[in-house]
Structure 1
Amino acid sequence: MQALDAGAVRRWADACVRSLDAHRADIDRINVFPVPDGDTGTNLLQTMRAGLDALLRTPADSVGGALTALAKGALAGARGNSGVILSQVLRGLAEAAREASTAGGVALRAALQRADVLATAAVADPTPGTVLTVLHAAAEAARDCPSDDLDAVVTAAAQAGARALADTPRLLPVLSRAGVVDAGGRGLVLLLDTLAAVITGQAVEHVATSASPRTADALTTAREAGSADYEYEVMYLLDGEPDVDGLRHALAALGDCVSVVGDGDGLWTVHVHCTDVGAAIEAGIERGRPHRITVNRFADQVAAPASRFTRDRVIVALVDGVGTARLFETEGAVAHGTDLSDLLSVVTGTRARHVTLLPGDPATRTAAAAVAAQAVDAGQDVVVVPTASPVQALAALAVHDPSRRPGDDVVAMADAAAATRRGEITVSEREAITWVGRCRPGDLLGMVDGEVVLIEPRRADVADLACRLVDRMLALGGELVTALLGEGVPEGLDRELEEHLRSAHPEVELAAYPGGQAGVLLALGVE
C-alpha cells in the first residue's frame, strides 16, 4: 500500500480492537506502574472500541475524515489514563492528515510526530519507561527513516516502538523488579504492529463491533494510577472553549491523575481521581456543560495484587557457548550469557521466589553478587553459588533437588562445586611470568584451579596437552572427568581423550560435550 485511505483506516481500527481484545488480559496483568494490577488493557480496548463505533457511523471518504471520526469517538469514550493518552495519539494522527484524502509516508511521519507532542502534553508528569517513551521512539524513527515510502516509514516506527518497549524495564525500576514491560507501551506496540500489517498487505478480517453496554460491572474499576487516598474516578465531556487551565487547577486541588484534553475541534474529555465527586462535577459546570458523566468506584472487592512470583525456584547459569547453554537448559536451568548488563531483568523476569545464580567464570561472580543484592533489596531471594567455571556449575546443578529447602539446596550445590577441580586450556594473549615459566602471546596454557601448570607453543598438539593436564588433575584421585569442547578445538579431541583415559585411568568415566565457548579451547572438571 502506497497511501492510507479511509478504507485502510477502518480496517486498521477494526484490527486494533480485535488485537486489544485478544491481548487485554495479558496487558492488564503486567500493569505494575504506577499501581499494580490496573486495567490498562481493558481501558485501551474500550477507548479504541468507542473510536471504531464512531468511525463506522461516520460516512468518511478521506483519510483525514476517517481519522478525525476515530479520534473524536476515542476521546468521547476514553477510559482511564491510558485511554486518554490513546485518544491524543489518534488526535495527533487526525490533525496531521485532516485535509488529506490519502496519506503516504511523509504524512505518516508528520502524524506520529504530532501524536507524540499531544500525548506528552496530556500527562502532567511524564515518566521515562512508559507508553510516552515508546511513542517518542516510534515518532523519531519515522522522522529519521531515509525513505518516504509508506511501508518503510511504518515499519521503522513499529520496530523502534518494539525496541523501546523492550527497554522500558531499564528505564523504570519498578518494571525491572517485576520482570515486565510497560503495559501502556505494550498496547501501543500492538497498534503500531497492526498498522504495519495493514499497510504491508497482511490480511485483516472484518469483524462487526459495537459499543459495550454500560453495565453494573462498568461502574466498578481497578485503580490504574494515582494515590490510594482517592475513592473515585470521575470522567466527563465538555463542549466549546472552557477555561482549561482553571479547570485543571481546580481538579488538582481535589485529587490526582488530572487530565483535560481536547480533540482540537471543541470537544474536551476530563479525568480525575478524587473523593468529592460532586466538587469535581461542579468544577466542570462552572466552565461549561458536563455530559457523558462517568463515576467509577475503585472496587473494594478487587482482589489484592497477585504475587509477583509465579513459581518457587529457578536456577540461572551464566555461561558462554551455544552448546554449553543448551546443556544447562536441558537440565532445567535458565542459561544466560556472560554479558550481565541485563541480568537483573532476567532474574526478576523468571518470576521465581528463589533464584540461584551459577557463574561460569570468576569474572562474573562480582557482578552477579551485585545483581543479587539489588534483587534481594526488591524482595526476591537470590543467591550466588561460588562456581568459577561451567564444569563446576554443572556439578552444582547435578545435585540440585527442588524438594529440599532452598537454603539446604544451595549448600549442597556449593559443596558439589567446591569438590570439583577445574582445568582449562586457553591461548595466552600476552607475555607473562607464571609459576612454571614465561609464556608468550599465542602459547597454549594448561591451567588447574586458575593457575598455569603447563605451557606449550601454539603449534603443540592440543590433544596431547589435554591428556597431560587430565593426568595432573587425576593425581589426587577422581571418578568422573567432564569436558566442554570450546570454539576452535581440534576435531577428534574428545575421542583421543577418551582413549587416553581408557588406557591410563580405566576406572575414570568421561563425559564430553560440545560447548562452543569462545576463548577457552577446553574446559575440564574432575569429580
Structure 2
Amino acid sequence: MLEALDAAAVRRWAAACVGALDAHREAIDRINVYPVADGDTGSNLLTTVRAALEALLRAPVTERADAGGAFGVLATGALAGARGNSGVIVSQVLRGMAEAVREQPVVEGEHLRRALRRGAELATAAMAEPVPGTMISVLSAAAAATGGEGLHGVAQAAVRAAAVALEHTPRQLDALADAGVVDAGGRGVVVLLDALLAVVQGREPDLRDAGTTVARPVNPHVAPREAGSDLYAYEVMYLLDGVDDATAGALREVLVGLGDSVSVVGDGAGLWTVHVHCNDVGGAVEAGVRVGSPRRIRVARFADAAPDGPARFTRDRAVVVPVRGEGLAELLLAEGVAVLRVGDGEEPTPYELTQVITATGAAHVTVLPGHPLLMELADEAAIRAVAGGQDVVVVPCASPVQVLAAVAVHDPRRRPADDVVAMTEAAAATRRGEVRVAVEDAITWAGPCRADDVLALADDEVVLVEPGPPGVEALARATRAVARRLLAAGGELVTALLGRDAPEGLADGLAAFLRAERPEADLVVYAGGQADSVLLLGLE
C-alpha cells in the first residue's frame, strides 16, 4: 500500500488510466445518450489520456523527476491532445491537480485531496453551462468526499463518492433515466479514479464488464456527437499559444455566439485548447486567428449530420435581412422574415449574420442585404453557412425599399430557384430614392454641400442640395425632388420608409404632391425608424 505518489507512481497511474479506458471504451461509448445518442465519450477520454501519457514518457527527465512535475507534464499533454468535451474536462482536472501539487516531490493524502478539489473547480469553470448529472457532478462529488486518512483513505473516499454520484445521474437527467443508463462521462471519471486507487493499492485496475472492443473504420473528418445541440454540424478544435486570460475570455464570448459546447481552456503557462460545435467553421477558426496563431486545427463533421444521417433542417425556406430601424424590423418580422437587428452606428459582423442564417433551421435561405456596403458581408456569411450544409443565395439589394419589394413577391410554394429569380427581378425593378442630412462638407453631382444641408438622392446620385438647416420645408422640397426624378420614367407604386427623425407632415406632403402631379401613382407609407436617412423611397 503506497503512502505517497512519487513520479514513478504518477507514471503508473497514467498508464493504468490508458489501459482501463481502452478496456471500457466501447461500453462508455454505448451509453452516451445525453444530449445526443451514440456519442464517443469513451474514445475521446482514451485519446486524451493517451496523449497525456505519451507526453510524460517523452518529456526530459528533469521535467518529470518528481510527482509535481509529472502531473504538470500530464496536464500539458492532455490539453494538447484533448478530444471532445470530456477530453477538455479531463485536461482541466489534470491541470488543477498539477497546480495543487506543483513542486511537490511526492503526493500524500492531503495533497491529493487539494488536487482533486482544484481539478474539479477548473473542470467546472471550463464548461460554459455545466449541467447536473454529467461528469462534472461526479467529479465534484469525488472532490468533496470527506473521511479517509492518508493517501489510500482519500483515494478510496473519492472513488466511493464518485460511484454514488454516478448512480444518481439518471435522477438528475431525464435522458439518462429514459435510456436506463448512467452518464458516460461520469463513468469515465470512475474508471480514472479506480485506476488511481489500484495504483495506491498495488493492484491492477478493475476491467470487469468492459465488453469487447470492436474494430471500426476511422474517418478523421467524421465524428460521433458527444454533446451539444444537433443544430450544429461540425466540431472545431485547435491550440493557441501565448494568449492571456482576458483575450481567451473574449475569444470564448465570440465562440458562444457561433455555437455551443464552447470551451477555451489553458494549462496555466500560455497554451490553450479551443473547442466549439458550430456550423460556421471559418468563423470559428478566424476568431482564433484574430487573437493568435491557431495550430493543430481539427474539424470533424458529426456523424448524425452526415448526408445519410437524420436531417437537421426543420423547414424548407427562409429569408434573412440585416435591418437598421426598429419599425422596419417589425414590418419584416410580421412577414415571416428572420432579421439581424443592427444598432445605430454599428457594423454587423459575418459571425452575427451567419448565426441568424443557421438559426432559421432552413435548408434554403435567401439573404437580402439592403445596402451596397452589406453585400460583401452577406457573401461571406453565406459562404460560411454553405460550409455548414445550407443552401444560401444572396440577392443584390441596395436599399431597404428593394428588400420590401423582394419580400412582397416571395412565395415559399415555388421552387427555390424560381423564388430567387422572382425576388431578384422585383428588387432590380425597384428604383430607389433617399433624403438625408449631410454630415460633412463635400462635392456632389449637384454641386458642393455643407454639413446640415439636405441631400436628395435618386439611385445613389445626388439630384438636389437644399441649404440647411434641415427644417420641415427643406426636407419637403428634397422629398418632392426625389419623387419627381423617380417618377419621370414612369411607375405605379411609391413606397416610403420614414426615418427616425422624419418630421410630422412629411408623408402627408408627399401624398399631396402625388395627388397633384401623379394621381395614377399609389403611395404606401411605413415607419422605418432608420437613423441614417430621413426618408427612403421606392418606385415600382
Kindly provide the amino acid, as one letter, of the partner of residue 92 in structure 1: G
Kindly provide the amino acid, as one letter, of the partner of residue 195 in structure 1: L
Q: Secondary structure at the match of 1:192?
A: helix
Report the equivalent of 1:225.
227
Q: CA deviation at 1:139?
A: 0.7
1:145 matches 2:142: no
Report the equivalent of 1:38.
39
For 1:183 and 1:251, locate their aligned partners in 2 and report how far apart those are by CA, in whole Å: 26
Q: Secondary structure at the match of 2:219?
A: helix
Assess if the C-alpha contact under 8 Å between 2:148 and 2:156 holds in 1: no
Report the equivalent of 2:8.
7
Q: 1:286 to 1:199 in 2, by over 3 A?
A: same
Show the 5 A alignment for 1:385-464. Answer: none
Report the equivalent of 1:198.
199
Pick aligned residue for 1:77 from 74, 77, 81: 81
For 1:204 and 1:248, locate their aligned partners in 2 and report how far apart those are by CA, in whole Å: 37
* Aligned structure 1 segments of 4 or more residues deviating by more than 4 angstroms: 301-305
Kindly provide the amino acid, as one letter, of the partner of residue 44 in structure 2: N
1:94 matches 2:98: yes
For 1:266 and 1:61, locate their aligned partners in 2 and report how far apart those are by CA, in whole Å: 22
Q: CA deviation at 1:203?
A: 4.3
Assess if the C-alpha contact under 8 Å between 2:96 and 2:119 holds in 1: yes
Report the equivalent of 1:112.
116
Show the 5 A alignment for 1:39-58. Answer: 39-58=40-59
Q: 1:53 to 1:277 in 2, by over 3 A?
A: same
Q: CA deviation at 1:241?
A: 2.4
Q: CA deviation at 1:64?
A: 0.8
Point out where structure 2 has 5 or more consecutive residues left out of the alignment: 207-216, 312-540
Report the equivalent of 2:351.
none
Report the equivalent of 2:264.
260
Q: Secondary structure at the match of 1:217?
A: coil
Q: CA deviation at 1:18?
A: 0.9
Assess if the C-alpha contact under 8 Å between 2:86 and 2:185 holds in 1: yes
For 1:159 and 1:301, locate their aligned partners in 2 and report how far apart those are by CA, in whole Å: 44
Q: Percent identity?
A: 60
Q: CA deviation at 1:282?
A: 0.8
Report the equivalent of 1:363.
none
Show the 5 A alignment for 1:122-201. Answer: 122-141=126-145, 144-147=146-149, 149-201=150-202
Q: CA deviation at 1:218?
A: 2.1
Point out where structure 1 has 5 or more consecutive residues left out of the alignment: 206-214, 306-527
Q: CA deviation at 1:204?
A: 7.0
Pick aligned residue for 1:284 from 277, 288, 297: 288
Assess if the C-alpha contact under 8 Å between 1:222 and 1:302 holds in 2: no
Kindly provide the amino acid, as one letter, of the partner of residue 161 in structure 1: A
For 1:297 and 1:204, locate their aligned partners in 2 and report how far apart those are by CA, in whole Å: 34
Q: CA deviation at 1:34?
A: 1.2
Q: CA deviation at 1:230?
A: 1.5
User: Could you report, residue by residue, the CA deviation over 1:158-198 in whole angstroms, capped at 9, with x for unpaired residues?
Assistant: 11101110111111121111100000000000000010010
User: Could you report, residue by residue, the CA deviation over 1:35-87 in whole angstroms, capped at 9, with x for unpaired residues?
Assistant: 11111011001011111110110121110111111110110000001110111
Kindly provide the amino acid, as one letter, of the partner of residue 75 in structure 2: A
Kindly provide the amino acid, as one letter, of the partner of residue 171 in structure 2: R
Assess if the C-alpha contact under 8 Å between 1:17 and 1:48 holds in 2: yes
**What is the Cα-based RMSD across aligned positions, in Å?**
1.8
For 1:54 and 1:118, locate their aligned partners in 2 and report how far apart those are by CA, in whole Å: 21
Show the 5 A alignment for 1:502-517. Answer: none
Instruction: Tell me the number of residue pairs that the alignment of Structure 1 and Structure 2 aligns.
Output: 293
Assess if the C-alpha contact under 8 Å between 1:11 and 1:204 holds in 2: no
Q: CA deviation at 1:30?
A: 0.3
For 1:236 and 1:126, locate their aligned partners in 2 and report how far apart those are by CA, in whole Å: 22
Report the equivalent of 2:500.
none
For 2:128 and 2:220, locate their aligned partners in 1 and report how far apart those are by CA, in whole Å: 26
Q: 1:230 to 1:203 in 2, by over 3 A?
A: closer
Show the 5 A alignment for 1:208-219. Answer: 217-219=219-221
